[in-house]
């Protein structure tokens, strides 16, 4: 059994048993490696954060399949924790969805998220999102399920219908996604705790809650989401928002003072950073082969 297979099996078992877990958003290899060592059951590759950190661009359908699959592969290879990766709309029509599922699975991720937005898509907590007809998205899910080689590779199906078409339509789509074979149903941006409760009551499937700080949805506690019937909660933005805040403070201090001496902002230690990035293995390798290089 490969590492990727083992990771998928562990995560799929947890999802099918509907044992609740939280997944932090990881957006680059530093955030991925840091979160990987903390004991989470799953990591989530955020499309917003990956696009921003890699390209410096908004999450608006600009990043390509190749760019995002490459990022997913790098994160999956760097982490022992299962990784679920954002794949936008599947990057096109049904053939594109088939290719995307095969590519992300080959990259070593444990699950893929696809959504029912029109292309080019937009971040789920920004305005102006429009969705494709339900029948088209159902076919995308069916293709995705058929395309995977490993039955434990999770298909997370997201609907963005709530904001433009209302909760009734979002729930109707979620129910159809589950019937089409999606392993996890993701109703994006419910606008109250009561709406989350209704999603949990009316869609019989493992459910994902998207907890975006300062987004369209309220931030709900683990116990509340569990009570409502949700299986997983992602926090996609907390990492890159925290990093941006810290960087703004330390760069601002450096600009104003010309030095970081006396700065109040705490820093991750240099020794811990070296350890996180694997320098200890490099140094051990150098010691082992030092005599051979003389």
pLDDT tens across 33-80, in order?
Answer: 999 999 999 999 999 999 999 999 998 888 999 999 999 999 999 999
Which among 22, 44, 155 has a CA at the least distance from the CA of 97?
A: 155
Task: Please answer whether residues 159 and 120 qualify as being in contact, where contact means their C-beta atoms are separated by less than 8 angstroms.
Answer: no
C-alpha span between 153 and 65 (Å, rounded):
18
Sorted by where each starts, the structural domains of the chain and their CATH numbers stand as 3-243 (3.20.20.60)
Token duo for residue 140: 């995308």
pLDDT digits (tens, 9 = 90+) for 221-258: 999 999 999 999 999 999 999 999 999 999 999 999 99
| Model confidence band, residue 126 (pLDDT cutoffs 50, 70, 90) | low
| Model confidence band, residue 123 (pLDDT cutoffs 50, 70, 90) | low
Q: Is the pLDDT of residue 212 over 70?
A: yes
Q: pLDDT at position 134, please?
A: 97
| Model confidence band, residue 122 (pLDDT cutoffs 50, 70, 90) | low
Average pLDDT over residues 19-25: 98
Longest CA pairwise span in the chain (Å): 73
Q: What is the DSSP letter of 120?
A: S
Task: Please answer whether residues 200 and 187 qualify as being in contact, where contact means their C-beta atoms are separated by less than 8 angstroms.
Answer: no
pLDDT digits (tens, 9 = 90+) for 177-193: 999 999 999 999 999 99
For helices 193-202 and 167-180, give the axis angle rounded to 10 degrees. Answer: 30
Q: pLDDT at position 125, please?
A: 66
Which among 76, 25, 29, 90 has a CA at the least distance from the CA of 233?
A: 25
C-alpha span between 154 and 152 (Å, rounded):
6
C-alpha span between 210 and 50 (Å, rounded):
17
């Amino acid at each position: 059994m490969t590492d990727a297979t083992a990771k998928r099996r562990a995560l799929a078992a947890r999802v099918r048993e509907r044992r609740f877990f939280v997944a932090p958003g990881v957006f680059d290899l530093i955030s991925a490696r840091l979160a990987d060592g903390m004991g989470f059951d799953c990591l989530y590759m955020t499309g917003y954060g990956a696009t921003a950190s890699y390209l410096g661009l908004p999450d608006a359908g600009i990043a390509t399949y190749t760019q995002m699959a490459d990022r997913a592969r790098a994160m999956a290879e760097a982490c022992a924790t299962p990784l679920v990766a954002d794949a936008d709309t599947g990057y096109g029509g049904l053939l594109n969805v088939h290719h995307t599922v095969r590519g992300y699975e080959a990259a070593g991720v444990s699950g893929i998220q696809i959504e029912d937005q029109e292309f080019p898509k937009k971040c789920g907590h920004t305005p102006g999102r429009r969705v494709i007809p339900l029948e088209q998205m159902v076919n995308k899910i069916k293709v995705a399920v058929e395309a995977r080689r490993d039955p434990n590779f999770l298909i997370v199906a997201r609907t963005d219908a709530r904001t433009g078409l209302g909760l009734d339509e979002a729930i109707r789509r979620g129910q159809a996604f589950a019937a089409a074979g999606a392993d996890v149903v993701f109703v994006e941006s419910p606008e109250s705790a009561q709406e989350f409760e209704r999603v949990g009551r009316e869609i019989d499937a493992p459910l994902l809650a998207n907890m975006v700080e300062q987004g369209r949805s309220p931030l709900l506690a683990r116990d509340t989401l569990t009570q409502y019937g949700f299986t997983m909660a992602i926090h996609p933005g907390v990492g890159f928002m925290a990093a941006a805040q810290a960087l703004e403070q330390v760069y601002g201090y450096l600009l104003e003072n010309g030095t970081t001496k006396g700065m109040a902002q705490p820093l991750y230690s240099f020794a811990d950073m070296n350890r996180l990035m694997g320098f200890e293995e490099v140094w051990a390798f150098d010691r082992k082969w030092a005599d051979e290089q003389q």
